[in-house]
A and B are shown apart, each in its own frame.
Chain A
Amino acid sequence: MAVAESLMQGSARSEGLRDTLARRAEAVVIPALALLAGLVVFGLFLLTQGKSPFSFLYYVWQGAYGSAFSWQNTLSRAAPLLMAALCVALPARLGLVVIGGEGAIVLGGVAAGALAGPLAGVTPVIALPLLALAAMIVGGAWIGASGALRFYRGVNETIASLLLSYIAIALMNHLVEGPLRDPASLNKPSTAPLVEGLRVGNLPGMEVHWGLLFGIIGCVVSWVLIERTSWGFGARIAGANVKAAQVQGLPVGRLVIGFTALGGAFAGLAGFFEVTAIHGTANASLAAGYGYTGILIAFLARHNPLAILPVALLLAGFDASSGLVQRRMDLPDAAVVVLQGFVFMAILISETLYGRFDIFHPERRAR
C-alpha cells in the first residue's frame, strides 16, 4: 500500500496543474452534460404533451429557489435525500448496488417513534441522541444485512436490499396499525405523538431543521472516510477487484458489512429526523420515496459524497416545486418521476463516454 501511495504522489508531482484539472473535469463535465440531456429529453416530452418546457423551468425555479419559503421547502427535503444518497454511495465504493434505503429510513423512523414514548420523561439532551442512535442501529442492521448476505451467501445485494425494503414497509404498517398504534390516531394509524421536548427544532436563523446540518456533516465525513483513510482505500481496492483485496490481506467481509451498515445508519438517521423534526410521529408518511430519489442522486454524483451536496439540492428542488408545477401547468404529480427517469437513463448512458475524449486525458496528447 505504501508503494502505491508514493507512486501516486510521484505522478501527481510530475504533472502540471492544467493536466490535473483536465483529468478532474471529466467527472464534472460528463454528468453535467448528461443531466442537461435528460432535461432536454423531458422538455421534448413536455412538448408532445402540449406543455411548455420553459414554463416548467420557470415554475421549478420559483417553487424550489425563488423565495425564502421555497428555499426552506427545498432544504428540508434535501436533508433526508443527503442521507439516503449516502446509503447508496458508500456501498457503491465496494462495487455494491444497494437500492433499499427506503426501508432503512422507514424502520429508523419507527424505531425513533417507538422509543420516544418510554423516553418521554428523560431530558432531551440524553433522550434525543438515544433515539438517533436507535434509528441508526436499526437502519444499519437492515442494510448491513444485505451486505452480510452478499458476502457470506453470495446473494445479489440489489434484489435483497429492495426485498428487505418491502419487508420493512410491511413491518412498519403492521407495527403502527397494531402493537405501536396510538388509539387516538383514527384516520392515519400512527405511533403516539412525540412530547414537545423530543421535537427537533430548526437551525438558528433558518426555518430548516437540524437534519440538514447532519446530512452535510455526513457527506463530509463520508468523503474523508473514502478518500483519506485506509478503510476507504481498502474499500476501493475491494470494489475494483475482490480477489486482489483478499490476497492483500484486506478484511473484505468487515469492509462490506461496515460500509453497507454505515450507509444504512445514515438512512436510519434520515428516518429519525423525519419523525422528530417533520411528522412528530411515525406513520406511513415515512415511506415518501426519499430512498428511491437517493439512488438517483448517488448515481448522478458518481458516488462521490461531496458531489452529493449540490446534486441533492437540485433534486430536492424538483421535489419541492412539484406541487406548484402540478397546479400551474396542470401536470400529474408523476411528471417529476418521469423527469427523474429520463435523467437517470441519461446519466447511465453517459457512462459509456468516459475515456473517449482526449481533452480530459493529457497523457494521450503528449504521446
Chain B
Amino acid sequence: MSDKPFFIGYMPAPEGLRAFLVIVAAAVIGGMAGASWVLGVGQDDPGPGAVRGDYGRQNLMGIVELVPYPLLHVVEGSDTIPEGTTLMMSAGNKAGVDARALPLDGQLAAVSGVVMERGDLQMLQLRGGRRGLGPGGGPMDIPEPVDMGRWRLAGEICDGKCLAGAMRPGRGLAHRACAAMCLLGDVPPVFVSSQPVDGEEFMLITGPDETPLPKEAYDFLSQYVSVEGTIKRHGDLLVFSIDAATLKLTN
C-alpha cells in the first residue's frame, strides 16, 4: 500500500505533508509580494499635470471668446497668470462653463478659480456661479485670430481638464471613458501633438470652422491618431479645427 500522505481537510495535516505545505504557503505569500513589487514599481510616470492649489485662487479680468469652447483673454492678470495669457475654462467636476460663458461672449468678464497646469497647458477651473464667472464691464474687442494654415498632425485627443492635472494619469486608453464623460460634460478637448506647432505642444481641438468637436472624433479619443485641419492662433492659444473625416489611427 502506498504510504504517500493523504490530506483530509478536517483532520490535522499528515506529518509528511506539513513541510511541503509550509513551503507552498511561503511561496504564495512571497509570490504575491513579488508580483506586487513588479506591478507597483512598474507604473509609468503620470506626467507633470497638477491642480495648482499652491498658486492660490486666481482672480482675473479678461475677454470671453467662444470658439465654441470658452476662452479667456486675460487683460488683468495675477502673479501666476500674466496679462495676455489665453486660458481654457471649465467648471468643477466633469463639466464645462459654456452656459455661463455664452452671455458673456465678446465681453469683459471677472473670473475666479484655480489653475490646472501641465507644461504650457493651463486650464482654469472656475468657482461656481457668478463668483466664478460674471460680467466685468461690457463688450471689448476680441484679439484677432491669426490663421496659421492647414496642417496634418499626429497625436492624441484628450479632455483638457484631466490632461492638465485633474487626474494623474489623465490620458491614455485606460482613461478613455473618463475623457469621453468629460467631453460629454462640455470640458474643452485638447490635442496633444507629437510635434510642436509654432512652439506649442497642446492646442484646443474643435470641429470644422470652430464648431464643437464632432461625435465621430470620440471614437478616436486617447489613441494615437493623425488628422488634418486648420490652425488659428487665438491670443497665445492654438485652436485646431479638424476635418473629422481625415481622422486615422496611426502607429
Partners in one complex: no
Interface residues of A (CB under 8 A from B): none
What residues make up the interface of B, taking CB atoms closer than 8 Å to A? none
